[in-house]
């Protein structure tokens, strides 16, 4: 898929070459939250260059969404296959009271390798279809709403057909307008038609992102409307 990588490259050229911005290499990320098996992990600070985590807390909730376990560690490092903290404090909470114990070593319940933390998340328009599918699957595994990105995925398939659909509509529309009002009016009408099409498309996508329209309707609805109009105009176009 050439378009996503092209979008990302175009953005970099615009930002760094045209606007003259200096490239900034982020060496750390702060206050990261990860949904993991059995709970959630908060990472106060992550150093990309050193591949180390700092100020780490793990939270596990019970059936009533009350806190039943918390583990805190000052730092953790990647040992090649897992994140390991040298020393941690574990707290257990129950109706009868709480208890505290120290741990010489704690293997964090985080499966993501250092590369996952270092990589900047792409915007949906910069992802190809397979990357977007993987991102949607990850959101759904974590119990998060992926509706917006499902709409974007469908739109990736429908977008290339917009030009074809508009051409099919513009030909009979332009011929009819030119015969009735002249060539200049035909060109002006074609411009108005294009603007209307993009406004309708933006409306459908926006309604899809908000969950009002299903993703399929959001991405393909405008195609159906203007495609049907094109068919009618071709049928009624005088020979």
- E strand segments, the chain: 28-36, 39-47, 52-61, 67-78, 83-85, 88-94, 97-103, 106-107
| Beta strands at 67-78 and 52-61: parallel, antiparallel or unpaired | antiparallel
Distance CA 230, CA 200 (A): 16
pLDDT at 24 over 50: no
Q: What percent of the chain has pLDDT over 90?
A: 31
Contact 83, 110 (CB under 8 A): yes
Residue 18, pLDDT above cutoff 50: no
* Domain count of the fold of the chain: 2
Checking if the pLDDT of 187 tops 80, the result is no
**For residue 196, what pLDDT is reported?**
84
Indicate whether 7 belongs to any domain: no
- Residues in CB range of 56: below 8 A, 6 or more apart: 41, 42, 43, 44, 72, 73, 74, 75, 76, 85, 108
Copy the structure tokens of residue 232: 């009618």
What number is the average pLDDT over the span 183-212? 81
Question: Residue 60: is its pLDDT beyond 90?
Answer: yes
Residue 12 scores a pLDDT above 50? no
Other Cβ atoms less than 10 A from the Cβ of 52: the count is 16
140 part of a folded domain: no
Same domain, 229 and 154: yes
- Looking at 78, 94, 117, which one is the last position of a domain? 117
Helical H segments across 128-182, by residue range? 129-141, 147-158, 162-181
- Separation of CA 141 from chain center: 15
Tokens (6 digits) for 139: 């959101």
Which of 117, 133, 157 is a domain's end point? 117
The domain boundary residue, chosen from 75, 95, 117: 117
What number is the average pLDDT over the span 133-149? 79
3-state secondary structure of 83: strand
Asked if the model's pLDDT at residue 117 lies above 90, the reply is no
Contact 127, 135 (CB under 8 A): yes
Question: Is the same domain home to 112 and 155?
Answer: no
Looking at per-residue confidence, does 53 or 120 come out higher?
53
Mean pLDDT estimate for the chain:
79
The confidence score (pLDDT) of residue 122 equals: 60
For residue 194, what pLDDT is reported?
76
Q: Give percent helix, percent strand, percent coil of the chain, each to the nearest 5.
A: 50, 25, 25
Residue 127 covered by a domain: no
91 and 59 Cβ atoms separated by less than 8 Å = no
Does any domain span residue 6? no
Task: Look at residue 76 and tell me if it is in a domain.
Answer: yes
Asked if the model's pLDDT at residue 94 lies above 80, the reply is yes
Measured between alpha carbons, how far is residue 88 from residues 27, 68, 201 in Å?
25, 17, 53
Tokens (6 digits) for 220 = 């393909």
Residue 161 above 70 pLDDT?
Answer: yes
Q: Highest mean pLDDT range out of 8-17, 69-78, 174-183? A: 69-78
Domain that holds residue 191: 148-236
Average confidence (pLDDT) over 129-150 = 81
Higher pLDDT, 14 or 141: 141
**Do both 44 and 105 map to the same domain?**
yes
Residues 94 and 157 in one domain: no
Average pLDDT over residues 177-184: 62
In this prediction, residue 154 has a pLDDT band, given cuts at 50, 70 and 90, of very high
Can you tell me the mean pLDDT for 161-175?
77
| pTM of the entire predicted model | 0.51
């Amino acid at each position: 898929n050439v378009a996503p990588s092209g979008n990302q490259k175009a953005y970099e050229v615009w930002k760094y070459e045209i606007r003259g911005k200096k490239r900034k290499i982020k060496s750390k990320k702060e206050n990261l939250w990860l949904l993991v098996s059995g709970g959630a992990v908060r990472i106060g600070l992550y150093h990309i260059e050193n591949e180390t985590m700092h100020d780490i807390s793990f939270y596990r909730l019970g059936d009533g969404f009350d806190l039943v376990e918390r583990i805190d560690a000052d730092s953790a490092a990647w040992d090649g296959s897992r994140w390991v903290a040298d020393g941690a404090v574990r707290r257990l909470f129950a109706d009868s009271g709480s208890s505290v114990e120290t741990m010489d070593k704690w293997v964090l319940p985080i499966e993501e390798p250092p590369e996952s933390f270092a990589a900047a998340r792409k915007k949906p328009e910069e992802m190809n279809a397979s990357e977007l599918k993987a991102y949607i699957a990850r959101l759904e595994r974590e119990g998060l709403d992926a509706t917006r990105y499902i709409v974007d995925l469908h739109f990736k398939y429908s977008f290339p057909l917009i030009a074809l659909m508009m051409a099919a509509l513009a030909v009979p529309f332009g011929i009819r307008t030119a015969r009735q009002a002249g060539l200049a009016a035909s060109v002006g009408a074609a411009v108005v038609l294009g603007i209307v099409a993009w406004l309708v498309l933006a409306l459908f996508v926006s309604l899809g992102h908000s969950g009002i329209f299903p993703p399929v309707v959001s991405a393909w609805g405008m195609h159906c409307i203007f495609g049907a109009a094109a068919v009618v105009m071709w049928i009624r176009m005088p020979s």
